[in-house]
Structure 1
Amino acid sequence: MTTAITRSDRRVSPVFLALVAIMSVSAWAVWTDYAGSTGLAVFLFVVSGWIVSLCLHEYAHARTALHGGDISIEAKGYLTLNPLKYTHALLSIVLPVLFVIMGGIGLPGGAVFIERGRIRGRWKHSLISAAGPLTNVLFAMAMTAPFWLGALEGVPEPFRYALAFLALLQVTAAILNFLPVPGLDGYGVVEPWLSAGLRRQVEPFAPFGLIAVFGLLWVPEINQVFFTAVDAVLGTLGVPEGDTYWGLEYFRFWQGEPQVPLSP
């Protein structure tokens, strides 16, 4: 049985283009302090940037699956970068934004439904699962490029803080997604290499894997270890810990403009 493909199955969605436009305009507003609303601009930049990264994350899964043998991907609209094709409004947009507000954690939210039976080869299955979080890694590299390239001269501090905070979300998303926990991409990487019996035993726990991980993150000792690892990764990319803190403060614009100490 073949799947009918139309040109619209690959055309970039206007919804995605609108998100990119919001991200671009809000980035300009942060840079220029347009109308003195830097906090709101940072909020829009980070939220739109996060959803754009979610689209790219899921697109990477879908595109890799298509080349791996699942030709049903196109008909499902996954190659249009439309977040509405990947997401559930509550689970993929509202809850992730709430987690960002509460604690600065990038919650993995979207999902593409891959017909795994069409794909042959364990390496292909592993690569499909790894493609998404690797996109978060690349997004983090792009957001931190001014830091590790030493190109921060002339960059307004609020813009620098916004980049740092968005990069932090990408790093947290990548680390969480790479955990070999059922329901997360990391488990999808190792699952093809497990015995059929073990996979059957683990399968019932998949819907609860993400919930368990975030429950553990509320344990202070585990939370400290997790964010120490996140700060270490960002530190290797030249991002000071203080920049991500002030990025979160600007993001919470409803609390008022943060009083950032002047740089020496």
Structure 2
Amino acid sequence: MPETLGLIGSGAIGSTLARLAVTAGIDVVLSNSRGPESLADLVAELGPRAGAATPEQAARAGDLVVVTIPLIAYDRLPADALAGKTVLDTMNYYPQRDGLMDEFESDRITSSALVQQHLADATVVKAFNNIAAHQLGTLARPAGASDRSALPIAGNDAQAKRDAARLIDSVGFDAVDIGMLEDSWRSEPTTPVYVAPYQGTPPTGLGEAELFHWGLQTPGVPVPAAAVLELVGEAERGQVRAGIVPGV
């Protein structure tokens, strides 16, 4: 378990991870593009284990660093400050938000492999990218709980994946290794393991806006490691790039 978790990006996923980490006894250093002062309320809510900083400072402070910003901004990540770090990449490609990116439309590279190219001196692990923020908070369970969920991870370095798995365990989930960064597409939108299994089956007859709000409120259903492995195995490459899934 890391002593300090750095977070670059403090939106829904970042703030939820910060809450889970603080509950687990991990110090967090949060950052975003708007500056540390914009995080004052969140830091006050989280208490003495939390602090705010610039992205460069959060990168240098973290034993592990989570990057959770829009993928279109991946090249703004502070590569020098992240050198030598294990970086957990939660980012996904959403064409409706990020615009069309030829690298992904042609399946030439996965998003995490592209991030790894930018962060050449860091070690990237894909993690926390296939669950909506609300269910990330509500489905966290202690180790050994019968209703504990699992999350997939992918990366090229075995030690980095072990570090990621320890963090995931600390915040309430099991980790399932699904392979290398080139395999990380298997947990991307809109593959079978992406978001929907953790939310469960929505009520029938909901419109798009209603479905979005339902996803923000439903406590979700557990997805154990065996189910994650089965769902990952069902993924087909052409399923990716379908746009933003409501509730994420």
Answer whether TM exceeds 0.5 for this pair: no
Higher strand share: 2
| Higher RCO structure (Cα 8 Å, ≥6 apart) | 1
Higher helix share: 1
Name the TM-score, length of structure 1 as normaliser. 0.26
Name the TM-score, length of structure 2 as normaliser. 0.28
